[in-house]
Structure 1
Amino acid sequence: MSKPFDMELFLAGVLTGAHATQQRHLRQAKIIQAEIAARWQRQTPWAWQRKHLAWFLEHHLSHRSKATRYYYVLTIRLLARRLKTSWGFNP
């Protein structure tokens, strides 16, 4: 029996700022994780590729406001920093 992936522990090293901001990033990261897991069966960020996050931005957020998309891009940048990749995403 394996433990579920702990996104809070995964992002602990890169989360900074106010408590509300940290909670928003965690909530959004969990939403991103759930959508990618449902679409590609990739449960952890270690298994993700840039295309998975680009798909999330393009398809899941296509009907959302620019402000919402911007905040998700900030969360995705945190995920990329934690993964130590050079993936770039524009808001």
Structure 2
Amino acid sequence: MKPDEFREQLRLGGYEIVSRDIEPHHALGQHHHPWDVWGMVTEGSFTIEPAGSISHTYHKGEIFSLHAMVEHTEQAGPKGASILVGRRMPEQTS
């Protein structure tokens, strides 16, 4: 799926759409979000490790998701990451 197609899927799903550019190796420690996340890596690589689970590295063109309130860590790869992210509060389902 291309980023424009993914953006349209986010829009149709009622997601707030956010683009982020993340510096190489930038990491966020254990945290959670109050919203569901549905995202796509548009450049570089991005690793997510949910608490109590194994990490997964997503590369350009790959899609990831996290449910609201899931504790996790995040880290951009050696070339950084650009991600297109949809955020939606759990009760905002279409």
Judge same fold: TM > 0.5, yes or no: no
Which structure has greater strand proportion?
Answer: 2
Q: Which protein has the bigger helix share?
A: 1
Which one scores higher on RCO, CA 8 angstroms, separation ≥ 6? Answer: 2
Which TM-score applies when normalising by structure 1?
0.29
Calculate the TM-score normalised by the size of structure 2. Answer: 0.28
